[in-house]
Amino acid sequence: MKSVRIIALRQDRKRLLEHLQDSGLIQIKKNEKSEKGFDKVNMTSQMQIFERNVTLTEQALRILDDNVREKKGMLSAFSGRREIDPDEIGVIATGAGDVINVCARITELNKRCADNSAEQVRIKTSLAQLEAWKKLDIPLNTSDTKSAAVFIGTLSDEYTDESLSKRIAEENPKLEFEFEIQYSADGMTCVVIFTPISQKAMAEDVLRNIGFSRPMSPTSRIPKVKAERLREKSKRLLEETEKAKQEIITYADRREDIRNTQDYFRIRADKYNVIGELDHSRHVFVITGYVPEEDCEKLEQLCNRVAACYIEFGDAGDDAPVKLKNNKFAEPAQGIVNMYAPPSHADIDPTPILAFFFYFFFGMMFSDAGYGLLMTIVIGIVLKVFKPDTQMRNNLKLFQYCGVSTFIWGLVFGSIFGDAPAVLYNHFTGASVTMADILPWPTIDPQKDALLLMIISIAFGLIHILVGMGCKFYVCLKQKDYAGAFFDTGLWMLMLIGFAVLAAGIAVSQTVMIIGAGIAIASAVGLVLTQGRGKKGFGKVIGGLASLYDITSYISDLLSYSRLLALGLTTGVMAQVFNMLATMFGTGIAGSIIMVVILIIGHAINIGLNALGSYVHTMRLQYVEMFSKFYEGGGQPFEPFSLKSKYIKIQEEKS
């Protein structure tokens, strides 16, 4: 990685930045303070416009999705962004204003629907309130006459004519009144009460005591008429809402235009955000950033072709971002590394090593030739047909390579959709053959040869750990930490190798066992003598002896690799169970149909569960058992100034 400084004329700023954004060669560094004689350009207002337009298009797309679903295939999620010609950006820019107007209209119509919906709720509430007054033939806000006071409202209890008369009389026997109950149920009574105007104050006191309250929204119309008008309004609002929704649906064919326009404004927002971070003088502007070393010449050629500018490359320093570069075999595993943490400048790129062991261990855990072949073929078709973007393509390639490994390990274990070939042959012929009888090569049966497979798993685990320690050895040498390389790493590697030789000697010969014991003891002595070298006096001996306790950690790590056996066994056993269930319904037409259904569903479940388990546990072996031996991480990923679009990508210019 190299640092780069580009000085160019302000009049060339737009053209130069557009080409840099198209190329994706440079990560622009944001400087908090400007150099002397330079200032920042405030782009806040322009960015707000672009971001507002992006938000508006996102809202419009969501509204369209809510009203008319877009027809997509089951595998459409794998499709990449639509490629467009560079000249098409100009066409999108020309039509952006019209598309924004369409989006504004869509959001306006959606708001109208929402407002109408809220009004419908209010109308429903009002109709419910008016239902109790439907027999009343005067308005709810009827006022007093010259001779009579009018009280229209509700009482907080249920009354009959007799009980209400008695209740009012009990409150004040002198009060003269007439009333008519309109409704009495649900714990309330709707009533109209008349009293002499001269007794209005007395009536108010009485009614207050018995829980009288006037309607919250009295109407100047008879309740029946008011209710009819509300129903007419509700019907009109429904028609307006339906009309608005139908108009929204007519814009469904503008989805692609809206998406293109959203990306256009997203790209412009990114560019103006960068402009706001650059240093400007009256006539020139300065770009500082990082560029991969192999792209320096390409960047220089691009800048000189686009504008008259001065370019200066330098040492990037330890705070520079990291860009991983690997061959086609290892590249799909870069996402696994970045998920953990990009390597720092003190690390090595672990991707090639991780890739090999990831594919290897995944296949050993999933371990079914049928599943592996299915994964490989299906993913190959998806890659060919849908042409996904780089990240999705790498994820799919990761599982495709895992599928190849799964296929190979499935052949080793003699598992093809479990024992489906043997079970189906026996089911329809009445024979009694096994997978070992069918396959022409020797296989390892995880159920019968569990101990052998356990030994193989731990042996692979030892190799995996030693490779991780070997990486640490190399890093120490690279940093000229020779003591750390030979004493802290090399001696432990020798001890583990000694234990491995000792274990092999138990099965091979006593001589091999003695050699292994000698290597292990010599390594232990070396650790005791060197691990306390940083301490003083007696602490050196204590530190050396205490370091031997770490052997328990290595033993624990090695035992973790027993999961290779466990998951491989699980995949095979589950497949065999589904095969057995499928053949329990006879060989007739109905039995055969049920068999096919069980096989499809059962093996689909097995693939889903055990593929996920293999992925998670394989990743754990990389992160915990191997990375802990040498990898620190903590680097910053290289994030170039590029076209960060969501739906479209610019076709690369062909030279």
CB neighbourhood size of 526 (10 A): 18
Domain-wise residue ranges, the chain: 142-214, 331-431+446-478+564-630
Cα 515 → chain centroid: 53
Confidence of residue 30 (pLDDT cuts 50, 70, 90): confident
DSSP-derived 3-state class of residue 220: coil
CB neighbourhood size of 399 (10 A): 18
Q: What is the mean pLDDT of residues 490-513?
A: 88
CB neighbourhood size of 8 (10 A): 21
> In the chain, how long is the greatest CA-to-CA distance?
127
Confidence of residue 651 (pLDDT cuts 50, 70, 90): low
Confidence of residue 420 (pLDDT cuts 50, 70, 90): very high
DSSP state string for 470-503: HHHHHHHHHTT-HHIIIIIIIHHHHHHHHHHHHH
Q: What is the mean pLDDT of residues 151-174?
A: 91
Q: What is the mean pLDDT of residues 110-126?
A: 93
| 2-9/279-280 β-pairing | unpaired
Rounded Cα distance between 376 and 400, Å, is 5
Torsions phi, psi for 354 (to 5 deg): -60, -40
DSSP-derived 3-state class of residue 610: helix
User: Helices 510-530 and 491-507, interaxial angle, to 10°?
Assistant: 160
Handedness of CA 374, 376, 381, 382 (dihedral sign): positive
pLDDT over 60 at 655, yes or no: no
CA distances to 270, 345, 631, 651 from 342, rounded to whole Å, are: 24, 10, 10, 29
DSSP-derived 3-state class of residue 508: coil
Contact 191, 154 (CB under 8 A): yes
Task: Name residue 311's beta-bridge partners.
Answer: 6
Rounded Cα distance between 532 and 454, Å, is 36
Please choose, from the candidates 14, 11, 9, 5, the residue with its C-alpha nearest in 3D space to the C-alpha of residue 35: 5
pLDDT over 60 at 343, yes or no: yes
**pLDDT tens track for 38-89:** 888 888 888 999 999 999 999 999 999 998 887 776 666 667 777 777 778 8
Cα 15 → chain centroid: 35
Rounded Cα distance between 540 and 515, Å, is 28
Residue identified by tokens 């030789």 is: 501
| 148-155/82-84 β-pairing | unpaired
> Rounded to 10 degrees, what is the CA torsion of 120, 126, 129, 130?
-110
Type of residue at 379: I
Instruction: Kindly state the tokens that stand for 610.
Output: 């055990």
From its phi and psi, is residue 243 left (phi > 0), alpha (psi between -120 and 50) or beta? alpha
Contact 9, 284 (CB under 8 A): yes
More confident residue, 207 or 186: 207
Rounded Cα distance between 463 and 325, Å, is 25
Give the start-end residues of each E strand in 96-155: 148-155
Residue identified by tokens 């790129």 is: 349
Rounded Cα distance between 118 and 120, Å, is 5
* Architecture of the 142-214 domain: 2-Layer Sandwich (3.30)
Rounded Cα distance between 33 and 585, Å, is 78
Instruction: Kindly state the tokens that stand for 24.
Output: 């994706």
Q: What is the mean pLDDT of the chain?
A: 89
User: Helices 88-131 and 255-277, interaxial angle, to 10°?
Assistant: 110
pLDDT over 70 at 645, yes or no: yes
CB neighbourhood size of 208 (10 A): 11
DSSP state string for 39-51: B----HHHHHHHH
pLDDT at 479: 87
pLDDT over 70 at 263, yes or no: yes
Instruction: Kindly state the tokens that stand for 90.
Output: 């100009």
Torsions phi, psi for 559 (to 5 deg): -65, -25
Rounded Cα distance between 375 and 257, Å, is 36
pLDDT at 233: 93
Contact 462, 454 (CB under 8 A): no
**pLDDT tens track for 505-550:** 888 888 888 998 999 899 888 888 887 766 666 666 677 777 788 8
pLDDT at 522: 92
Type of residue at 371: Y
pLDDT over 70 at 325, yes or no: yes
Handedness of CA 221, 222, 227, 229 (dihedral sign): negative
CB neighbourhood size of 328 (10 A): 8
Q: What is the mean pLDDT of residues 159-177?
A: 91
Confidence of residue 239 (pLDDT cuts 50, 70, 90): very high
DSSP-derived 3-state class of residue 655: coil
Contact 468, 486 (CB under 8 A): no
Share of the chain above pLDDT 90, in %: 50
Task: Name residue 196's beta-bridge partners.
Answer: 148
Contact 595, 582 (CB under 8 A): yes
The per-residue b/e assignment along 48-75, b for 16 or more CB within 10 angstroms, e otherwise, is eebbebbebbbebbebbeebbeeeeeee
**pLDDT tens track for 120-129:** 999 998 888 8
pLDDT at 541: 65
Type of residue at 570: T
pLDDT over 60 at 653, yes or no: no
**pLDDT tens track for 171-195:** 898 999 999 999 898 888 999 999 9
Confidence of residue 220 (pLDDT cuts 50, 70, 90): confident
| Burial of 164 (C-beta count, 10 Å sphere; 0-12/13-18/19+) | buried
